[in-house]
């Protein structure tokens, strides 16, 4: 379904490595104009081209030829006319002769005109580079103009370009070597408000330079909380002593969104949708960014922006933002999570002087991870695992599969196992409060959860141990826990791990930390449907209660949680991203239904998060009231639900 990217905070941009010939300005300009047209056909109206691409970077002493410089001037004028015809914006590299000096410059073209010219500051003059032979540094040029066919055009290193009517679209320019120095100009540009940093570059290719270049662009975009667009000269440059690859990149806050193929002689183009709203949000969250003022004043040059509808979103949208897609990275993530959990618990045990732990094990995925963490923490401290008391507390809904898995795992891990059935105590409690046992309502369910917590707490007092919590981050977000039941513990090791990631950590543990029968049990637990098992089993002994049928797939809720809490996105944007990520798996109506439920539960269940037990922060999303998330328990959800309603019925907005 078509949408207006700017309405959701997006801006479609491109980096290009056009087909070039050394010194052939007409050929080069024609290739650049064709690339602008190709990009416009993809809905991309902002493009960055390489350093000195109008003439080519490797002209050498030909840069001193007036004929070449005059041809470049007219070539820029021709490219500017193309931007006017297509309502495009482009940053083009070309030489500029001004006041008897020659500058390696970037021309900002929009609406058929040169809107500003930025000279290169750092001119490399070592090894294969000889730029000081021809060019003058623009380091001191501020507040100046250049004569451009009789028009005074802003000229200097103090320029920022701002799109009219586009919040957060402020563009800063540095050129090639400017990025490679200890203090790149882009840092000051970002501090002055630039969210999009562009770099027309030449950067010849060398062995292993590709990854270094990628890491440099990624890290600078992360350091500046910005997008970074690097356009690099292609193999059409001179190969007298060097080879150029055309490796161009688009990065955003530490993530590479798109890049061109290297060593192609035809024009290369990479396009991506930047999330300017996300960048602005990150800067608001990072108070140290706002406190770092720019060391220089900047002139802001406005330029017109015309946007069209888009039919797709040109950026990777992971359906599992907490879970890396690559197996290697996922393995590293799981190892790190396990280390954080075990270290946090070991510190708490060491501090309290306790060498006993009590944990309720159900045969479910969460209590399993908590038990594994506890076992490894005891190993690290040199405590015997037999000092861990694992307690199974079968109730009305406990199935043979989960009970058997809990018992088998405890036996394989070498922990003490105690079985304490709760049916009798809960029935007595029902009689005490006058609740019919056949009424399977929330009281029926919560009474079992609270009975189990009471047993664990009293056992901990009895053995002088610590009750280990089992609830995960996703359950806390939805409030899918019983207040003063499984909601409470003495240390909550899973409180920072979302449900989608819990499964992967258990799978990783089965493969790397445990073996034999223990690994088999862990794999079966991983494959068991999520359920609190609080309703009576059916005639076949099967569990009729499946959590995800009631509250929706955790796959979706973790997606919603990440974008609502970590990125602070509004509901309509989360819905758009969900449609992009899950369009083949869920209907739009389903996504909207579960997103409404997510918001209702997230707001209404804050009171449970306001009194959480201690637990280690694991990732960038945490809901501890002492750490990352401070929200009043009586906040209203209507504003968020109204926006979702308006996306379903635009006439109501």
Tokens of 238: 């001179």
Query: CA separation (Å) from 532 to 304, 547, 594?
Result: 57, 7, 20
The answer to whether 615 and 570 have CB atoms below 8 angstroms apart is no
Half-sphere exposure of 510 (CA within 13 A, CB side): 21
Cα dihedral 105, 177, 202, 210 sign? negative
**Stretch (H or E) spanning 281:** helix 276-285
The answer to whether 156 and 185 have CB atoms below 8 angstroms apart is no
The angle that helices 400-413 and 365-381 make with each other, rounded to 10 degrees, is 10
Q: Is 51 among the residues known to form the active site?
A: yes
Contacts of residues 545-548 at CB distance under 8 Å and 24 or more positions apart, as own/partner, are: 545/397, 547/480
Classify strands 255-259 and 249-252 as parallel, antiparallel or unpaired. Answer: antiparallel
- Give the count of beta carbons closer than 10 Å to the beta carbon of residue 212: 11
3-state secondary structure of 431: helix
Rounded to a whole number of angstroms, the distance between the first and last alpha carbons of the chain is 19
Tokens of 45: 């109206």
Active-site choice (120, 278, 376, 499): 120
Q: What is the DSSP letter of 627?
A: T
Q: Is 645 among the residues known to form the active site?
A: no
Q: CB within 8 A of 430, min separation 6: which ones?
A: 436, 437, 444, 447
Q: Is 176 among the residues known to form the active site?
A: yes
Q: CB within 8 A of 257, min separation 6: which ones?
A: 250, 251, 272, 273, 274, 315, 316
Active-site choice (44, 53, 169, 176): 176
The answer to whether 331 and 612 have CB atoms below 8 angstroms apart is no
Tokens of 280: 């602005």
Which strand ranges, in their side-by-side order, compose the sheet holding 89-98? 144-148, 151-155, 113-119, 101-110, 89-98, 46-48, 10-17, 268-275
What's the CA gap between 38 and 372, in Å, rounded?
Answer: 55
Active-site choice (19, 29, 44, 51): 51
Q: Where are the beta strands (DSSP E) in 99-203?
A: 101-110, 113-119, 144-148, 151-155, 159-163, 170-173, 196-201
Tokens of 406: 């809990």
CA-derived radius of gyration, the chain: 30
What's the CA gap between 619 and 565, in Å, rounded?
Answer: 12
What's the CA gap between 532 and 622, in Å, rounded?
Answer: 23
What's the CA gap between 653 and 648, in Å, rounded?
Answer: 10
The answer to whether 200 and 106 have CB atoms below 8 angstroms apart is yes
What's the CA gap between 308 and 140, in Å, rounded?
Answer: 39
The answer to whether 22 and 56 have CB atoms below 8 angstroms apart is yes
Q: List alpha helices for 355-498, DSSP H.
A: 365-381, 400-413, 423-433, 442-463, 473-478
Catalytically active residues, by annotation: 51, 120, 176
């Amino acid at each position: 379904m078509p949408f207006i990217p700017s309405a959701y905070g997006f801006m479609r941009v491109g980096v290009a490595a056009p087909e070039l010939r050394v010194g052939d300005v007409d050929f080069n300009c024609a290739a650049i104009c064709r690339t602008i047209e190709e990009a416009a056909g993809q809905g991309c109206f902002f493009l960055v081209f390489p350093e000195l691409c109008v003439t080519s970077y490797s002209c050498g002493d030909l840069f001193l030829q007036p004929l070449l410089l005059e041809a470049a001037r007219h070539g820029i004028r021709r490219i500017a006319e193309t931007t006017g015809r297509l309502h495009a914006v482009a940053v083009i590299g070309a030489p500029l002769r001004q006041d008897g000096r020659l500058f390696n410059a970037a021309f900002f073209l929009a609406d058929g005109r040169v809107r500003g010219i930025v000279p290169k500051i750092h001119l490399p003059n070592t090894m294969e580079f000889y730029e000081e032979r021809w060019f003058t540094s623009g380091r001191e040029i501020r507040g100046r103009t250049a004569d451009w066919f009789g028009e005074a055009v802003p000229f200097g290193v103090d320029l920022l370009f701002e799109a009219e009517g586009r919040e957060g679209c402020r563009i800063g320019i540095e050129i090639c070597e400017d990025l490679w120095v200890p203090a790149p100009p882009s840092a000051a540009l970002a501090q002055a408000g630039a969210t999009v940093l562009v770099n027309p570059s030449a950067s010849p290719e060398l062995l292993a330079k590709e990854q270094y270049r990628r890491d440099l662009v990624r890290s600078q975009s992360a350091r500046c909380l910005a997008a970074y667009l690097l356009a690099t000269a292609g193999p059409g440059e001179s190969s007298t002593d060097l080879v150029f690859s055309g490796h161009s990149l688009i990065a955003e806050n530490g993530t590479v969104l798109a890049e061109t193929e290297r060593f192609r002689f035809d024009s290369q183009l990479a396009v991506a949708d930047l999330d300017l709203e996300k960048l602005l949000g990150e800067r608001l969250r990072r108070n140290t960014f706002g406190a770092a003022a720019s060391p220089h004043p900047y002139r802001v040059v406005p330029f017109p922006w015309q946007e069209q509808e888009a039919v797709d979103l040109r950026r990777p949208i992971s359906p599992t933002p907490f879970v890396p897609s690559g197996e290697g990275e996922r393995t590293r993530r799981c190892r790190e999570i396990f280390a954080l959990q075990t270290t946090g618990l070991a510190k708490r045990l060491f501090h309290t002087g306790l060498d006993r732990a009590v944990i309720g094990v159900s045969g479910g995925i969460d209590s399993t991870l908590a038990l594994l963490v506890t076992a490894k923490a005891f190993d690290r401290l040199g405590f015997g695992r037999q000092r861990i008391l694992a307690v199974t507390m079968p109730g009305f809904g406990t199935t043979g599969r989960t009970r058997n898995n809990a018992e088998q795992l405890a036996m394989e891990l070498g922990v003490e196992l105690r079985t304490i059935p709760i049916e009798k105590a809960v029935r007595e409690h029902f009689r005490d409060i006058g609740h019919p046992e056949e009424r399977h309502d929330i009281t029926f369910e919560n009474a079992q959860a609270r009975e189990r917590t009471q047993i664990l707490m009293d056992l901990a007092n009895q053995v002088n141990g610590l009750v280990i919590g089992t609830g995960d981050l996703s359950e806390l977000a939805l409030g899918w826990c019983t207040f003063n039941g499984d909601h409470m513990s003495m240390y909550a090791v899973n409180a920072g791990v979302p449900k989608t990631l819990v499964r992967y950590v258990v799978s990783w543990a089965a493969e790397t930390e445990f073996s034999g029968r223990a690994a088999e049990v862990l794999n079966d637990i991983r494959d068991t449907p999520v359920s609190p098992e609080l309703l009576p089993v059916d005639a076949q002994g099967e569990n009729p209660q499946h959590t995800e049928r009631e509250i929706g797939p955790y796959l979706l809720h973790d997606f919603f949680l990440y974008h609502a809490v970590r990125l602070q996105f509004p509901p309509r944007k989360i819905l758009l991203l969900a449609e992009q990520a899950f369009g083949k798996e869920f209907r739009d109506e389903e996504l909207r239904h579960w997103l409404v439920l997510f918001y209702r539960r997230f707001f209404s269940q804050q009171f449970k998060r306001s009194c959480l037990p201690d637990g280690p922060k694991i990732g960038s999303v945490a809901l501890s009231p002492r750490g990352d998330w401070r929200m009043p328990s009586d906040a209203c959800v209507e504003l968020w639900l109204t926006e979702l309603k308006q996306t379903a019925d635009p006439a109501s907005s």
